[in-house]
Structure 1
């Protein structure tokens, strides 16, 4: 069995923080969604002009996530900081909000469906449940320039989408952790124990 663990949640929920702790705890390689330097360049362009860069940004992320999940399975395990399984959250939001045309969204959706046909689900999906207030607080603390220019109202839409996605997700076992009430760093021992116990049950 490939030990593939995915961590998903809104921007600012603490995915990378948890992933880095799990990388040490589980001795699994972390595949970070910002590892490609082109990703941050495109994110900066996207946040400054969403109409121009939404489709390009989404296809870039989809391509990167497909590449990563293939590499994870090839190496028989790994950690994914966000993954292809939640990718459509952002594309559907961008389409609904008018940043991606109908034709662009259909092109993206068809490509995603084709990729998912060749993608194995993870052993465990970890969902970090996080309020908009907490996410914005974390975003401001880390201070990425391209995120700081984004108004708070923009972050409310992904939160709505993730809440719905969490309710409907069925591809694999899902463990939800409320990070509004658990501090990932201060309570890391408890959180890692919860995750470790869940993984052991799934590997039996």
Structure 2
């Protein structure tokens, strides 16, 4: 792997991205970069009326992630810290393709590419793949109020969207290593041996 490792952890809502990112940052002593979620002022409105508030929600996420990544990654390589992030910037398109349409989606795509095309990409992606039941269980367990009435149909489609997105990233970023973790079988929180298995896979590429 190139100098200044940049690891992104990805997966559908409830996969455990932030938890695993935090654990990996602590293990490797890398800088942890966490996305802003609950601070989004449109989140509650979005879950009540997706069509009405989707564009505002997606634009808030895009601009905040761009600012966060830009401040961290658009610095001289010699001074940049190794990073573990709990998202890949492409997740913005995963959600926008699902929630937006027509003119709004066209405008969003233009803004997305304008902001992100020159951002450095991760050296390595840890993709947590999990089925719908596993994700719903974890969403209920973490107890965010705005997620408790989550549309299972939306989440099921999101699982498929992530599979498509990972295939897209493989094609567009051939130098990026992608490690797929079976989130249905590996419990990296409750079973230390499962976490060590993930760490060992990452070390092969560091």
If the length of structure 2 is used for normalisation, what is the TM-score?
0.86
Verify: 1:76 aligned to 2:77, yes or no.
Answer: no
2:131–2:184 contact (8 Å) kept in structure 1: yes
Separation (CA, whole Å) in 2 of partners of 1:143 and 1:117: 35
Over the aligned positions, Cα root-mean-square deviation in angstroms equals 1.8
Q: Unaligned stretches of 5+ in structure 2? A: none
**1:37-63 deviation per Cα after TM superposition (whole angstroms, max 9, x unaligned):** 532x32112111211210111111111
The 10-residue stretch of structure 1 (74-83 or 116-125) with the greater mean CA deviation from structure 2: 74-83
Q: CA deviation at 1:201?
A: 3.9
> After the TM superposition, which segments of 4 or more aligned residues of structure 1 sit over 4 Å from their partners?
none
Separation (CA, whole Å) in 1 of partners of 2:200 and 2:110: 36
The 10-residue stretch of structure 1 (108-117 or 187-196) with the greater mean CA deviation from structure 2: 187-196
Q: CA deviation at 1:33?
A: 1.4
- Which residue is 1:89 aligned to? 94
Separation (CA, whole Å) in 2 of partners of 1:184 and 1:157: 25
Aligned residues: 195
Separation (CA, whole Å) in 2 of partners of 1:192 and 1:109: 39
- Which residue is 2:57 aligned to? 57
1:4–1:123 contact (8 Å) kept in structure 2: yes
- Of 3, 12, 15 in structure 1, the residue corresponding to residue 14 of structure 2 is 12
**1:160-200 deviation per Cα after TM superposition (whole angstroms, max 9, x unaligned):** 101222233222111110110101212344434433543x4
Aligned pairs for 1:75-154 within 5 A = 75-94=80-99, 100-154=100-154
- Which residue is 2:199 aligned to? 195
Separation (CA, whole Å) in 2 of partners of 1:72 and 1:197: 25
If the length of structure 1 is used for normalisation, what is the TM-score?
0.87
Separation (CA, whole Å) in 2 of partners of 1:196 and 1:139: 27
Distance 1:190 1:116, change over 3 A: same
SS across alignment from 1:137 = helix
Structure (1 or 2) with the greater helix fraction: 1
Distance 1:188 1:17, change over 3 A: farther
Separation (CA, whole Å) in 2 of partners of 1:14 and 1:146: 17
